[in-house]
Structure 1
Amino acid sequence: MDHPKIHARSRVSSYVPILIAIGGATATGKTGLAIALAERLQGVILSADSRQVYRGFDIGTAKPTPQEQARVPHYLIDIREPTDTLTLATYQQTAQAIIADSHRQGTVPLLVGGTGLYLEAIVKGLKIPPVAPQPRLRSHFTQLGQPHSYQLLQVVDPTVAQRIHPNDAVRTQRALEVYYVTGQPISTLQGEVPPPYPVLYLGLDCDRQSLAQRIAHRTDTMIAMGLVAEVKALIDRYGPDLPLLRTLGYDEIRRYLAGDCSLAQAKQLIIQHTGQFAKRQRTWFRRRAPITWFDAEATDLLDQAWSRVARFMDATQAQKWSSGSGRSRG
């Protein structure tokens, strides 16, 4: 897949190739922090959001606005039509190429988003089986039913079956399709190839009450910005059965436009479903290490984050000059 070339900006003095990753639950302010840090570093931002890659899905995905994108170069946004599929493997390859290009230009890349697997694919260098989605196989497994599909997985790949919840149909079907396409268990094809540059992984979080308030405020803002019109335009262009219209924020408005609920009810459903999604995100990120966590509500958040970034860069540079090579993880 082609990717835009990084345009060289002013270089950071004594440049050492690094990557700064910023993750966390939805509505914790990742975009704002990333832009502020990128401006100080004169860096670039790579989106790690599985829906921001699609054109037309703007308001409901909290995609950086044109004004925000004008402040700092952004990549991996609006690179696919909603009718196309972007696999994790393709995302990883594209992001890695942009990061390498950024390093060649002496620019600091920031990988930012709430899609944990996108972040992990880069930060850990996940080995991803090169198997595209198999609709026919997935349809077959759906008809077979999750209990039987999971039993089948226990037979063909007991190792990965131990890591997948019996009710997780998505991961069960993925493991099965990889096995039937390659003839090899997905557990033998997976692994990690850590990146050749130091990574600083930052996380944003806040208490449940604050996060609930942030989600409610974001939902109000999205509706005020024109989320209903955005969903209507997508339905008019692609039809109501577009799979992406079944995702968070879009499905609820789609149901409102279909007459299944009122706008007030749709709004409350978005808040409820986003809260449930954020809870799952928090659990997922908290199990990942090492991540340096910051309180999204802190009044001096930018100063705290900048201090951590500066220490990381100083340590990385010192290690380079003392050893001539090596890697550091923050």
Structure 2
Amino acid sequence: MDIGTAKPSPEELSLVPHHLINIVNPGEGFSLAQYQRLAYRAINDIQQRSKLALLVGGSGLYVWSVLEGWGIPQVPPDPEFRHSLEKKAAKVGEDKLYQQLMKVDPVAGQRIDRHNIRRVIRALEVQRGTETPFSQLQYKEAPPFNALIIGLTADRVELYHRIDLRVDEMIRQGLVDEVGKLVNMDYDSNLPAMSSIGYKQISMFLKGELTLAAAIQQIKF
């Protein structure tokens, strides 16, 4: 999954050591807790060598879990339970599932975007596995390092223009072929990796559910 993730090129990877790249296959589960644990291990290793670690996002959820030292409930995924809730959401709507979360854990419900079905399901999964509200199991503990946070900003019009150019470039580089190869390797389109932005829309195009133009438009917006 090189093109759709904007993975650094082999030339870029050769310039400076990179960590946590090419460590799992698309079909493997990879949780926030696993990422956090491996990130801390890599940062510690870098500091032990008197080098400076750069944590580059990526998903804000994963970055903040490291920077703020989130306590993450050690509840293993339950594929059968998750699938049942996904089917329920598809049948009766995402809002019904969100209301289910609000009944058992309104604090978590207020923190989680009602349209982020994956996080809603995870909160319900943790509550079911521990019989404790997800929100009561969350805490923050300062990590064993200091961090300087640098955020880049841009004019919104310019930002959207750059996104459009990036998507067009990914298509030019062969995103359709990349997704097609993954599908031919039997990676299901419902996998978390295959349902991420770009891969989901191109998968829908390959299944005849979208035109290529519509898929590209959805990726951009």
Q: Report the TM-score, using the length of structure 1 for normalisation.
A: 0.60
Note if 1:164 corresponds to 2:112: yes
Note if 1:252 corresponds to 2:201: yes
CA, structure 1 residues 78+166, in 2 after alignment: closer, same or farther (shift >3 Å)?
closer
> Take 1:137 and 1:118, find their aligned partners in 2: how far apart are those partners?
24
Note if 1:185 corresponds to 2:133: yes
- Structure 1, unaligned runs of 5 or more: 1-56, 273-330
CA, structure 1 residues 260+198, in 2 after alignment: closer, same or farther (shift >3 Å)?
same
> Which of 85, 97, 103 lines up with 2:47 in the alignment?
103
Q: Deviations over 1:169-196 (max 9, x none)?
A: 3333222211111122212210101112
SS at match of 1:111: coil
**2:60 corresponds to which residue?**
116
- Work out which structure has the larger RCO, using CA pairs closer than 8 Å and 6 or more positions apart in sequence: 1
CA, structure 1 residues 167+226, in 2 after alignment: closer, same or farther (shift >3 Å)?
closer
> Take 1:240 and 1:92, find their aligned partners in 2: how far apart are those partners?
26
> Take 1:150 and 1:263, find their aligned partners in 2: how far apart are those partners?
32
Q: Is the radius of gyration larger for structure 1 or structure 2?
A: 1
CA, structure 1 residues 267+168, in 2 after alignment: closer, same or farther (shift >3 Å)?
closer
Asked whether the 8 Å contact 2:27–2:187 carries over to 1, the reply is no
Asked whether the 8 Å contact 1:150–1:161 carries over to 2, the reply is yes
> Which of 120, 125, 129 lines up with 2:69 in the alignment?
125
- Structure 2, unaligned runs of 5 or more: none
Write out aligned runs for 1:72-221 (5 A).
72-142=16-86, 143=88, 145=92, 146-221=94-169
Q: CA shift at 1:103, angstroms?
A: 0.8
> Take 1:240 and 1:140, find their aligned partners in 2: how far apart are those partners?
17
When you count strand as a share of all residues, which structure comes out higher?
1
Write out aligned runs for 1:314-329 (5 A).
none
Aligned length: 216
Q: Deviations over 1:209-234 (max 9, x none)?
A: 11111112111211221212211111
> Take 1:205 and 1:122, find their aligned partners in 2: how far apart are those partners?
22
State the identity as a percent.
41
Which has the larger displacement, 247-256 or 72-81? 247-256
CA, structure 1 residues 172+80, in 2 after alignment: closer, same or farther (shift >3 Å)?
same
CA, structure 1 residues 239+118, in 2 after alignment: closer, same or farther (shift >3 Å)?
closer
Q: Report the TM-score, using the length of structure 2 for normalisation.
A: 0.87
